[in-house]
Amino acid sequence: MVTDETTPMGTTALLVLGCPQVPVQTSIALYLINRLKKAGITPVVAGNKAANTLLVVADTDRYYLGEVMDLDRAVALIAEKKRDFDLCFVFIHNDAGVSYAGTMGAISGAALFAVVYGEHYDELVQAIDFPCTKVAAKAVHNPLPLKKALDEVHPWAA
Amino acid sequence: MGCVESMNYEIVMRGATFKESREYIREHFRENFDVQPGFKVFEVHLIGIPPIAIGLDGDVVIFPYTKPCHGTFLLRVEDKEEAARLRALKK
């Protein structure tokens, strides 16, 4: 289920998934993956087992998904300078998500995007005091507000 | 909790934000120091908003441990060798 391709070509993007308890995450992740791929950017997903499995089951034939890896492993690879990405999108709907974004900002050279959503998205945006591009919307079940926020930033054109 | 599960740890604090956990270490452990995210403690790469505070109390190491669904825990692990290693790095 989890794959590991260590030599993707061209521009790469890491999607750091949060806890999948907020429904919009899986939908927006697949949308972002599709937009990135259409722009010629290789997306790699890193999440915990539940977050990864939601994507892998939804995209059984891998129309959208490429490499999927365990989140702890992704952090280890980047922290140990064994691998890095050009873009990094961290999905944030709780304090842990902010911590993961702060971590990626510190250990990775990627352009960092904080994708913030959920019921308390505005409080989380306030808690992000490190350099990154914030993409935020009050989105829990309906992904369209977050899709709109993402479209306005159009990070796939970076 | 991954390889942390194999440790004999105690949870000092749970349910707090990462920043509250950092302040707790600074306020409650006279011997403390800051590291950057990705720093390894007990083979675990630390997650957090820099700087990350680590506390030392004799042979005990107090550090934050973050998981996506459960937030940040402050863990307390007694390990003479790791405490000595961290103390040496601090100097």
**B19-62 residue pLDDT tens:** 999 999 999 999 999 999 999 999 899 999 999 999 999 999 99
Query: Nearest CB to A99: which of B2, B36, B47?
Result: B47
Q: Indicate the domain borders of chain B.
A: 2-90
CB contact under 8 A, B68 and A96: yes
Percent of chain B predicted with pLDDT > 90:
85
Query: Nearest CB to B18: which of A21, A50, A99?
Result: A99
CB contact under 8 A, B50 and A107: no
Tokens standing for A2?
A: 């989890």
pLDDT over threshold 50, residue B9: yes
CA distance B19 to chain A (A): 9
Q: What is the pLDDT of residue A3?
A: 52
CB contact under 8 A, B66 and A100: yes
pLDDT over threshold 60, residue A2: no
Q: Indicate the domain borders of chain A.
A: 12-157
B2/A contact by beta carbon, under 8 A: yes
Q: How confident is the model at residue B1 (pLDDT cuts 50, 70, 90)?
A: very low
Fold of A12-157: Rossmann fold (3.40.50)
Distance CA A85, CA B16 (A): 31
Q: How confident is the model at residue B6 (pLDDT cuts 50, 70, 90)?
A: confident
> ipTM score of the complex?
0.93
pLDDT in tens, A7-45: 556 999 999 999 999 999 999 999 999 999 999 999 999
pLDDT in tens, A61-72: 999 999 999 999
pLDDT in tens, A80-125: 999 999 999 999 999 999 999 999 999 999 999 999 999 999 999 9
Q: What is the mean pLDDT of chain A?
A: 94
B70/A contact by beta carbon, under 8 A: yes
Task: Say which residues have a Cβ less than 8 Å from residue A154's Cβ, sequence separation at least 6.
Answer: none
Partners of B46 on chain A (C-beta within 8 Å) are 103
Q: Could you write out the three-class secondary structure of A73-90?
A: HHHHHHHCCCCCCCEEEE
Query: Nearest CB to A106: which of B18, B19, B38?
Result: B38
Task: Say which residues have a Cβ less than 8 Å from residue B56's Cβ, sequence separation at least 6.
Answer: B29, B31, B32, B33, B62, B83, B86, B87, B90
